[in-house]
Structure 1
Amino acid sequence: MARKARRRGFGKVETKTDRHGRKYFQASYPTPVEAFATHPGISARQYQNFDDETMADGWLSAEKRLIDSGAWTPLGERKAKRRRETITFGEYAPEWVETRRRADGTETASSTKIKRRELLKNHLLPTFGKMRLVDITPAAIDRWLEKYPRDSQSAYNAYTLLKPIMQSAATDPIDDAGHTLIGKNPCTRSMSRPPKKHKTVVASLAQLKALYDRMPERIALTVYLGGALGLRIGEILALRRQDVDIDNRVIHINATLKPDVGPDGRQVIVRGIPKTRNSIRDVPIPESLVPMIAEHLAKHTGKSASAYLFTGRNGTDPMWESTYNNSLRIARAGIPGLELYWSHDGRHDALSRDAELGASNALLMALGGHADIRTVSVYQDASSEAHQRSVIGRLDAELARSLSDGGQPNADRQSENNTELSSVGSAPASPPSPGDGGAPSQDDGSDGLTAMLAVMPLDERVAVLRRLDSGKRQRALGLLPRDARVETMAALFEEEL
Structure 2
Amino acid sequence: MGTKFGSVIHRADRGTFRAKYTYHGEVITKTFKDRLSAEAWLNGERSRVEADKAGITKWTSPTDRKRQEAAVKRRRTLFCDYVMDEFAPTWLNYATDGSELASGSKRKHREYLQHLTHSFFWKYPLTSITTEDINRWLADLDNFGGATPRKKTFQLLKAVYSKAVAEGAVAKSPVTMKAPAVPKSRQAQIPPATAEELQTIYANMPSTTRISVWLGAILDLRIGEVVSLQVQDWNPKTQTLRVCHSADVNGQLKSTKTATSNTTQPVPPQLGKLIDKACEDKRPTDFIVTCADGTHITPNRLRDHFNEAKTKARRPDLHFHTLRATSITAAVATGASLKDTMQWGRHADAATSIERYQRASGTERMREIANGIEDTLMGHEPTREELEAEIQKTKERLADLERQLDALK
Q: Tell me the TM-score normalised to structure 1 length.
A: 0.52
The answer to whether the 8 Å contact 1:242/1:306 transfers is yes
Which of 332, 345, 352 is the aligned partner of 1:355? 332
User: Structure 1 unaligned runs (5+)?
Assistant: 1-28, 48-58, 173-179, 260-266, 374-417, 423-443, 452-497
Partner amino acid, structure 1, of 2:329: S
Look up the match of 1:493: none
Distance 1:278 1:445, change over 3 A: same
Contact 1:98 1:113 in 2 (8 A): no
Q: What is the aligned partner in structure 1 of residue 123 from structure 2? A: 130
Deviations 1:330-365 (A, max 9, x none): 554x34653232233111112212333455666555
Aligned equivalents of 1:43, 1:311: Cα separation in 2: 73
**What residue in structure 1 maps to residue 78 of structure 2?**
88
Instruction: Output the amino acid matched with 2:160.
Output: I
- What corresponds to 1:296 in structure 2? 278
Matched residue type, 1:356: A
The 1:145/1:364 distance shift into structure 2, 3 A limit, reads closer
The correspondence of residues 371-450 of structure 1 with structure 2, limited to 5 A, is 447-448=372-373
* Aligned twin of 2:345: 368
> What is the number of residues matched between the two proteins?
323
Counterpart mapping for 1:138-149 below 5 A = 138-148=131-141
Equivalent residue, structure 2, for 1:98: 89
- Contact 1:235-1:274 at 8 Å conserved across structures: no
Cα deviation digits, residues 5-57 of structure 1 (max 9, x gap): xxxxxxxxxxxxxxxxxxxxxxxx987846997798x742499xxxxxxxxxx
Secondary structure at 1:342 match in 2: coil
Greater alpha carbon shift after TM alignment, 339-348 vs 135-144: 339-348
1:203 Cα shift? 1.4
Q: TM-score, normalised by structure 2?
A: 0.61
Higher alpha-carbon Rg: 2
Which AA in structure 2 matches 1:351?
I
Change (3 A) 1:217 1:34: farther
Is contact 1:111-1:258 (8 Å) kept? no
Q: Contact 1:234–1:321 at 8 Å: present in 2 too?
A: yes
Correspondence for 1:230 among 211, 215, 220: 220
Q: Does 1:283 align with 2:262?
A: no
Choose the corresponding residue for 2:229, options 233, 239, 248.
Answer: 239
Contact map agreement 1:237 1:257 (CA 8 A) in 2: yes
SS of corresponding position for 2:118: helix
Preserved contact between residue 102 and residue 257 of structure 2 (Cα < 8 Å): no
**CA RMSD of the aligned region, Å?**
4.8
Please give the alpha-carbon distance, in whole angstroms, between the structure 1 residues aligned to 2:268 and 2:200: 20
Show the counterpart of 1:191: 179
1:186: Cα distance to partner? 0.9
- How much does 1:145 deviate? 0.6
**Residue 44 of structure 1: SS of its match in structure 2?**
strand
Q: Is contact 2:227-2:247 (8 Å) kept?
A: no
Q: Which residue does the alignment assign to 2:31?
A: 44
2:229 match: secondary structure = coil
* 1:237 to partner: Cα distance: 3.6
Partner of 2:400: none
Q: Equivalent pairs: percent with the same residue? A: 22
Q: Deviations over 1:306-328 (max 9, x none)?
A: 44435799988x76645654654
- C-alpha distance 248-87 of structure 1, shift in aligned 2 (>3 A): same
| Structure 1 residues 124 and 46: alpha-carbon distance in aligned structure 2, compared to 1, 3 A threshold | farther
Query: Does 2:261 align with 1:257?
Result: no
In 1, Cα distance between the equivalents of 2:342 and 2:209?
A: 26
C-alpha separation in 1, matches of 2:47 and 2:318? 71
Aligned: 1:182 with 2:178: no
* Equivalent-residue separation in structure 1 for 2:45 and 2:179 (angstroms): 52
